[in-house]
Amino acid sequence: MRVRLLAAHLVLVTGWAWAQSEWISLGRLQDSEFYYDPINIRQTVSVLNKTPHLWRVWTIQSWDAPTAAGARSDRSQYEYDCSANRFRVLQQESYSDAMTDGVRLARNSRPSDWMGLTPNTAPAVLRDIICN
């Protein structure tokens, strides 16, 4: 019984913390707005040499009109390797309404390959915020 109560409490607290996130806009990207969550930026530690070098951040991209797949927004977790100037998407969810409201349409938990950063794009601007 205690385990169930603890699990229920953790779900409530986690949900509350997510709801308390203050999404900061990085600006418009063609037909969408791109946001990040500064409260939940986390640094990870390398297993090999025990030094911190990777940063994780949650983002939301919210479109003005639905995509071909019917999504109005995506929530993604990006991981940045600041020393190598690259990033990847760890997980991503698509939603039927703006700002991740509505029905979850898709979920991908498979990390993407590492990608280089193109100047003047949302991932590059976010890298400058996270890594500096």
Q: How does pLDDT run across 57-93, given as a tens digit for each residue?
A: 999 999 999 999 999 999 999 999 998 999 999 999 9
Whether 37 is in a domain gets the answer yes
Length of the chain: 132
Exposure of 8 in the CB half-sphere (CA atoms within 13 A): 5
Number of H helices, E strands in the chain: 2, 8
What was the pLDDT predicted at 45? 74
Residue 17, pLDDT > 70, answer no
Residue 13 is assigned to a structural domain of this protein = no
> Residue 12 domain-assigned?
no
pLDDT at 11: 38
Q: Tell me whether residue 80 is in a domain.
A: yes
| 16, part of any domain | no
Whole-Å CA distances, 33 to 5, 61, 74, 83, 87 = 39, 6, 11, 28, 20
Please report, as a single letter, which amino acid is at residue 42.
R
Q: Does residue 31 form part of some domain?
A: yes
CATH code for the domain of 62 = 2.40.128.710
* DSSP β-bridge partners for residue 33: 28, 62
Report the domain count for the chain.
1
Distance from C-alpha of 43 to C-alpha of 58, rounded to nearest angstrom: 13
Domain span holding position 82: 22-131
DSSP string, 52-69: EEEEEEEEEEEESS--TT
CA neighbor of 61 nearest in space, from 37, 86, 82: 37
What mean pLDDT comes out for the span 30-49?
87
Say what the pTM is: 0.78
On whether residue 121 sits in a domain, the answer given is yes
Residue 60 lies in a domain: yes
